[in-house]
Chain A
Amino acid sequence: MEYVIEMLDIRKQFGNFVANDNITLQLRKGEVHALLGENGAGKSTLMNVLFGLYQPEAGEIRVNGKKVKISDPNVANDLGIGMVHQHFMLVENFTVTENIILGSEPTKMGIVNIKDAAKKVQVLSEKYGLNVDPYAKIEDISVGMQQRAEILKTLYRGADILIFDEPTASLTPQEITELMQIMKRLIAEGKSIIIITHKLKEIMEVSDRVTIIRKGQGIGTVTTAETNPSQLAELMVGRQVEFKTEKTEANPKEVIFQIDNLVVTDYRNIEKVKGLNLSIRSGEIVGIAGIDGNGQSELIEAITGLRKVKSGTVKLNGQDITSLKPREITESGVGHIPQDRHKHGLVLDFPIGHNIALQTYYKAPISKGGVIDYSKISELAQKIIKEYDVRSGHGESTPARALSGGNQQKAIIGREVDRNPDLLIAALPTRGLDVGAIEFIHQRLIEQRDKGKAVLLISFELDEVMNVSDRIAVIYDGQIIDTVKPNETTEQELGLLMAGQDRQSNNGQVKEGDE
């Protein structure tokens, strides 16, 4: 069997920490090879070794059977290895072509020759069915298109081996499907692909073989056709994982949260939420399914007071909380796990303990007469760190920045749930987390529901919405266009609804909540 890349017994350590311990990965020509592991298992380290960003302490790398030393990314480029990063390396206000040639601009007598480059980009784009406009500005195109620009960048530089780092993390379901098509096309044209991911579904769909690593250790390589998701999950986590979140039937009571005719505009004063109606009962989880950009962010920000409401009302326990200040809304009984944990959820430079106290620092018992009793913050932090299994290097005094995404999220959830809110809003609560953490977070949401709280879950992941929710409200173009029960619908149906196709009629909104 012909291998284009062989990484044999790679070992990489940082100080005393062994990030990669004797990991072997062999990529065959023309295959999609998945690299599977939890967050922090060492996937990125391994790929950074391959890409020349790190030098391994032991082991060897062979490209096309020849032993090589990849001392920096330029060497990797010359060997035909290209990387599509998770966080795109694109200049926002440059065009696709300008971004692609960046760093190796073709010049004619000292002047950058954009036209020829654009033509070349166009040809590549057509060859692989990428459908990218070479002259479009990055800031004007969708995330999916931006990713294609990244793919084009590697192709333009002659890559034969493409590494995709968590490529689906920020894509919509449709874009994911399209990406899978593109990958197949790339393979058909003779490229080989390594895809780094912890999403089992995608692995099953697109990959030929899977190499699993767990806590820096190479666990082994399996052929996708001979395995199944539960086996993969077990190999990855090291124990049995439940996919279908265990939950009993919901027992919803009275409506405690109600949104009527809510209109919210974005920063350009364009309406993003257009007369939205939604109600949640105590003891139920309502999931909002929808493609990113249909008003979800504006909706949450309006409910939580971070954005002005143009018209309409939001009521919790009969109290009108529309347009109150964020703190007043928090105190009225709303808990909010924000969409972007780095932007809104945490003060990254604060110790994690201070972050855990971020919603309660100002009142007794922590604050008395304007003075904070830091020992009370410690008490609270230690309690939540223990209850929510938040792992950090130096406990509560570790800077929030130093925690892994999953542990940051657990701290936020602990902070919000501990206040015992009547309504818990969870916006993309499991984004970027691995199965172990996802399982934990889903259980907490269901726990809140079983305590008789209302839970509003916003997610772009259909699996998550279908798994956790008791009722699914589909948002499209700023309105809830339909409400369905998870056990009475299919992914296909939801997908259509999310694309704006009405299930029953074509004229307007279906009144939600009436069954």
Chain B
Amino acid sequence: MPKKLTTILVPVISVILGLLVGAIVMLVSGYDPVEGYLALWEGIFGDVYTLGGTVRQITPYVLAGLAVAFAFRTGLFNIGVEGQLIMGWLAAAYVGYAFDLPAIIHLPLAILAAAVAGALWAFIPGLLKAKLQVHEVIVTIMMNYIALHVSNAIIKSLTDGGEKTPAIHESASLRSAFLDNLTEYSRMHYGFVIALIMVVIMWFILERTKRGFELKAVGFNQNASEYAGMNVNKNIILAMVISGAFAGLAGAMEALGTFGNVSVIGGFTGIGFDGIAVALLGANAPLGVLLGATLFGSLKFGALNMPNVGIPVEIVSIIIALVIFFVASGYIIRVFLERMSKKKEAK
């Protein structure tokens, strides 16, 4: 079986299997799976409002997925996307309300602030990995908690003990009257354009630039990279920083698009962790991440409609988790497909 076909077939089969097992779960719990999945479908594609919501949900997933995938491709496991995203969210929201600038400067500045904040947050584990060989997984996990609480503390101190920052100025917003009208106030915003551009940028960095060549080489084999005259430490740090910038941008989507501010939160947003699943779904390729995020975001958003037909949110969460589970165990499906094709060849 051609490799390309397997790469596409594996996630498709995974999703179908996930939905099948999800149907069984619904049946066993006494709900009608047909009705449930119809509600899911309606929740995703029902009307312009839900479509707008779906796109809005997908946007940060694309960026979080790119962040994880970029790190993967360069030999790093960035579990810190969540923390980098929170810092990006905070930075964008702050720049969004604290400055008063013309939109042409304000919006790019706020977006840039988010990218820089995410990048800086990722720089620390990158530096520790490069200089002291501290494993990035441990550092990034801890940095997530630090980000969560630092962000909460800063919000409180900025607002004298308040729960959320003031709304960003219009000039820093990704929202638009046009999109609001088109999608009946779904909160959909222009962030999806940024996400699409970033998909192209990630592809370009990895597949076309000299830097991408080095980042990948260092990710695969540090010794050979050093032998070939590459600066291994610099490349490790840079890989983390670029990954963090993508994560920070995901935060900007929430700050400048969806919410228009940043609030004190009790726990993680989950987008950063879901980014890992998205990257896996997309086989760490930019276009794959886009598709993975689309699936993931659609399921997440569409599932919100399932309680409307009486299916509890817990069951909905289980179904989403099942889909991801089957994707993550795509290895099993891959092995199965290979066996099948081998048998065919033997015949």
Same complex origin of A and B:
yes
Residues of A within 8 A of B (CB): 15, 304, 306, 325-328, 330, 336, 338, 343-350, 354, 358-359, 361-362, 367, 370-372, 374
Residues of B within 8 A of A (CB): 208-214, 216-217, 220-221, 223-230, 342, 345
**How far is the CB of B342 from the nearest CB of chain A, in Å?**
7
- Asked if A359 and B228 make an inter-chain contact with CB atoms under 8 angstroms apart, the answer reads yes
A349 CA / B74 CA spacing, docked (Å): 12
- Asked if A362 and B210 make an inter-chain contact with CB atoms under 8 angstroms apart, the answer reads yes
Residue on A with the closest CB to B208?
A371
Contact flag A358-B208 (CB < 8 Å), given A15-B345, A347-B221: no
- Asked if A349 and B345 make an inter-chain contact with CB atoms under 8 angstroms apart, the answer reads no
Contact flag A359-B229 (CB < 8 Å), given A370-B211, A372-B208, A372-B210: yes
Residue on A with the closest CB to B211?
A370
- Asked if B227 and A361 make an inter-chain contact with CB atoms under 8 angstroms apart, the answer reads no
Inter-chain contacts of B342 with A (CB < 8 A): 15
- Asked if A346 and B224 make an inter-chain contact with CB atoms under 8 angstroms apart, the answer reads yes
Inter-chain contacts of A367 with B (CB < 8 A): 210
Inter-chain contacts of A346 with B (CB < 8 A): 221, 224
15 A-B pairs within 8 Å (CB atoms) are namely: A15-B345, A304-B227, A306-B227, A326-B226, A338-B227, A347-B220, A347-B224, A348-B220, A350-B216, A350-B220, A358-B224, A358-B228, A361-B210, A370-B209, A371-B208
- Asked if B210 and A343 make an inter-chain contact with CB atoms under 8 angstroms apart, the answer reads no
Q: Which one of A344, A361, A370 contacts B224 once the chains associate, using CB atoms below 8 Å?
A: A344
B208, B223, B342: most-surrounded residue (chain A CB, <10 A): B223
**How far is the CB of A93 from the nearest CB of chain B, in Å?**
20
- Asked if A349 and B210 make an inter-chain contact with CB atoms under 8 angstroms apart, the answer reads no
A222 CA / B342 CA spacing, docked (Å): 39
**How far is the CB of A355 from the nearest CB of chain B, in Å?**
8
- Asked if B220 and A349 make an inter-chain contact with CB atoms under 8 angstroms apart, the answer reads yes
Residue on B with the closest CB to A327?
B229
Inter-chain contacts of B225 with A (CB < 8 A): 347
**How far is the CB of B284 from the nearest CB of chain A, in Å?**
13
Inter-chain contacts of A326 with B (CB < 8 A): 226-229
**How far is the CB of A98 from the nearest CB of chain B, in Å?**
29
Inter-chain contacts of A348 with B (CB < 8 A): 220-221
Inter-chain contacts of B223 with A (CB < 8 A): 343-344
- Asked if B224 and A343 make an inter-chain contact with CB atoms under 8 angstroms apart, the answer reads yes
Inter-chain contacts of B210 with A (CB < 8 A): 361-362, 367, 370-372
A348 CA / B225 CA spacing, docked (Å): 11
Inter-chain contacts of A344 with B (CB < 8 A): 223-224, 226-227
Contact flag A372-B226 (CB < 8 Å), given A15-B342, A348-B220, A350-B220: no
B224, B225, B230: most-surrounded residue (chain A CB, <10 A): B224
- Asked if A372 and B213 make an inter-chain contact with CB atoms under 8 angstroms apart, the answer reads yes
Inter-chain contacts of A347 with B (CB < 8 A): 217, 220-221, 224-225
Inter-chain contacts of B224 with A (CB < 8 A): 343-347, 358
A306 CA / B221 CA spacing, docked (Å): 15
Residue on B with the closest CB to A362?
B210
Inter-chain contacts of A327 with B (CB < 8 A): 228-230
- Asked if A358 and B221 make an inter-chain contact with CB atoms under 8 angstroms apart, the answer reads no
- Asked if B226 and A306 make an inter-chain contact with CB atoms under 8 angstroms apart, the answer reads yes
Seed contacts A327-B229, A362-B229, A372-B213; 15 additional CB < 8 Å A-B pairs = A306-B227, A325-B229, A326-B228, A338-B227, A343-B224, A344-B224, A344-B226, A345-B224, A347-B220, A347-B225, A350-B220, A359-B228, A359-B229, A370-B210, A372-B208
Residue on B with the closest CB to A363?
B210
**How far is the CB of A440 from the nearest CB of chain B, in Å?**
23
A344 CA / B345 CA spacing, docked (Å): 38
Inter-chain contacts of A304 with B (CB < 8 A): 227
Inter-chain contacts of A338 with B (CB < 8 A): 227
Inter-chain contacts of A306 with B (CB < 8 A): 226-227
A15 CA / B347 CA spacing, docked (Å): 11
Inter-chain contacts of A374 with B (CB < 8 A): 208
A15 CA / B1 CA spacing, docked (Å): 13
Inter-chain contacts of A330 with B (CB < 8 A): 229
Contact flag A361-B213 (CB < 8 Å), given A306-B226, A330-B229, A344-B227: yes
**How far is the CB of A307 from the nearest CB of chain B, in Å?**
10
Inter-chain contacts of A362 with B (CB < 8 A): 210, 214, 229
A304 CA / B227 CA spacing, docked (Å): 8
- Asked if B213 and A354 make an inter-chain contact with CB atoms under 8 angstroms apart, the answer reads yes
**How far is the CB of B226 from the nearest CB of chain A, in Å?**
6
A336 CA / B210 CA spacing, docked (Å): 22
Inter-chain contacts of A15 with B (CB < 8 A): 342, 345
A107 CA / B221 CA spacing, docked (Å): 43
Residue on B with the closest CB to A415?
B228
**How far is the CB of A387 from the nearest CB of chain B, in Å?**
21
A354 CA / B214 CA spacing, docked (Å): 11
Inter-chain contacts of B212 with A (CB < 8 A): 372
Inter-chain contacts of B228 with A (CB < 8 A): 326-327, 358-359
**How far is the CB of A340 from the nearest CB of chain B, in Å?**
8
- Asked if B220 and A336 make an inter-chain contact with CB atoms under 8 angstroms apart, the answer reads no
A248 CA / B221 CA spacing, docked (Å): 40
Inter-chain contacts of B221 with A (CB < 8 A): 343, 346-349
Inter-chain contacts of B226 with A (CB < 8 A): 306, 326, 344
Inter-chain contacts of A372 with B (CB < 8 A): 208-210, 212-213
Contact flag A336-B217 (CB < 8 Å), given A15-B342, A372-B209: no
Inter-chain contacts of A354 with B (CB < 8 A): 213
Inter-chain contacts of B216 with A (CB < 8 A): 350
A140 CA / B216 CA spacing, docked (Å): 36
**How far is the CB of B21 from the nearest CB of chain A, in Å?**
34
A346 CA / B216 CA spacing, docked (Å): 13
The 8 closest A-B pairs by CB, nearest first: A327-B229, A344-B227, A349-B220, A358-B228, A347-B221, A326-B229, A367-B210, A347-B220
A347 CA / B223 CA spacing, docked (Å): 9
A155 CA / B189 CA spacing, docked (Å): 73
Residue on B with the closest CB to A326?
B229
A371 CA / B229 CA spacing, docked (Å): 18
Residue on B with the closest CB to A304?
B227
Inter-chain contacts of B214 with A (CB < 8 A): 362
Contact flag A350-B227 (CB < 8 Å), given A367-B210, A370-B210, A372-B208: no
A328, A362, A374: most-surrounded residue (chain B CB, <10 A): A362
Inter-chain contacts of B209 with A (CB < 8 A): 370-372
Q: Which one of A336, A349, A370, A371 contacts B227 once the chains associate, using CB atoms below 8 Å?
A: A336
Residue on B with the closest CB to A328?
B229
A328 CA / B229 CA spacing, docked (Å): 8
**How far is the CB of B201 from the nearest CB of chain A, in Å?**
13
A336 CA / B228 CA spacing, docked (Å): 10
A372 CA / B342 CA spacing, docked (Å): 37
A374 CA / B209 CA spacing, docked (Å): 10
Inter-chain contacts of A359 with B (CB < 8 A): 228-229
**How far is the CB of B114 from the nearest CB of chain A, in Å?**
25
A296 CA / B307 CA spacing, docked (Å): 71
**How far is the CB of B229 from the nearest CB of chain A, in Å?**
3
Inter-chain contacts of B227 with A (CB < 8 A): 304, 306, 326, 336, 338, 344-345
